[in-house]
């Protein structure tokens, strides 16, 4: 997980901007019995998701 704190004092005096980013990778398996090709058999895929959050706060972080 990556957390970065940006210096917002130039644009927002007293404010702190936090940027939080997290990446997840996971596998899932399925089959499609209505088809007559290789997808009829149990098989898997790899998926990835990236979540990014930006938080603005006035004051200290505790």
Is residue 28 within 8 Å of 10, Cβ to Cβ? no
Q: State phi, psi for 46 to the nearest 5 degrees.
A: -105, 130
The pTM of this model reads: 0.49
Over residues 30-51, the mean pLDDT reads 94
pLDDT tens across 10-27, in order? 566 677 788 899 999 999
The DSSP bridge partners found for residue 53 are 20
pLDDT of res. 47:
97
């Amino acid at each position: 997980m990556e957390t970065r704190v940006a210096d917002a004092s130039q644009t927002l005096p007293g404010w702190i901007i936090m940027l939080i980013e997290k990446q997840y990778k996971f596998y899932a398996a399925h089959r499609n019995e209505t088809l007559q090709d290789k997808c009829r058999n149990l098989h898997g895929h790899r998926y990835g998701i990236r979540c990014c959050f930006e938080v603005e706060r006035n004051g200290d972080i505790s």
